[in-house]
Amino acid sequence: MTAARLQVPPRIVEGDVFKLRLLVQHPMDSGFLRNLEGVLVKRNVIRQLKCIYHDMEVFRVEPTTGTAANPLFEFYLRATTSGELYFRWVDDKGYIGELRHNLVVIPANQSPAPKS
């Protein structure tokens, strides 16, 4: 239903604490504004957004009307092993948004990064 984009560093080594940026396209209608036709737009915000990594919830945010439209969330995560990052969010209408990303984590014992 809604589009989303995720940004993670290009190279992640096991043990790295890396930054994730998630931009979700969602109007986050507060219920206080009217549309172009003058009709009141009902409240519809993302109620809960979570990130699952290796079957564990590693991030959760519960926004309200005070969160801006097309929300951006930035947080950190400690990399363990390669696996799927699964983002899932629900809004007031009950629509479920999902984003899956295959996180590639270079094991710590591998050769270090080439000098740039």
Partner 1 sequence: MPRLCFLFSLSSTMQLRSVLSKSFFTAGLLCLSLFSHVSVMAQQRLLPLDKVQSGLAFTGPEILELQADDFANPALPYLDKGAKLWSQGAGKADKSCESCHGDINSSMKGVATRYPAIDKASKKLFNLEDRIRSCRTKQQKASDWPLESDELLAVSLYVTSASNGMPVQATIDGAAKPHFENGQKIFMTRQGQMNMACTQCHDQRYGIKLYTDRLSQGQPNAYPAYRIEWQRLASLERRLRFCYNGVRAEVPAWGHGVMRDISLYLMWRAQGLNIEVPSVRK
Partner 2 sequence: MYLLSRRDWLRRFSLSTAGLWAWSTGLSKAQDMSVLGRVQDLSDARLRTFDEMVSPYVVRQELKNEGMGLTMPLLADNGHLVPLSLKIDSPMTEESHVTHVYVLSQLNPAPLIAMFVLGPWNGKAELSMRVRLSGTQMVVALARMSDGNFRYASRQVSVTEAACVDNG
Nearest to 87 by CA among 47, 55, 49, 61: 49
Q: Is the dihedral of CA 111, 114, 115, 116 positive or negative?
A: negative
Fill in the per-residue mask, 1 to 20: x = in contact with partner 2 (CB under 8 A), - = not in contact: ----------------x-x-
What is the residue type of 103?
L
The DSSP call for residue 115 is P
Query: Does residue number 38 form part of the binding site for partner 2 (CB under 8 A)?
Result: yes
Q: Which does 42 bind (CB under 5 to 8 A by kind): partner 2, partner 1, none?
A: none
Per-residue tokens: 46: 């993302």
Touching partner 2, residues 61-100 (CB under 8 A):
61-69, 71-78
Fill in the per-residue mask, 26 to 65: x = in contact with partner 1 (CB under 8 A), - = not in contact: -xx-------x-----------------------------
User: CA 23, CA 46: separation in Å to the nearest integer?
Assistant: 13
Q: Which chain residues interact with partner 2 by CB under 8 A?
A: 17, 19, 28, 30, 32-36, 38, 40, 53, 56-69, 71-78
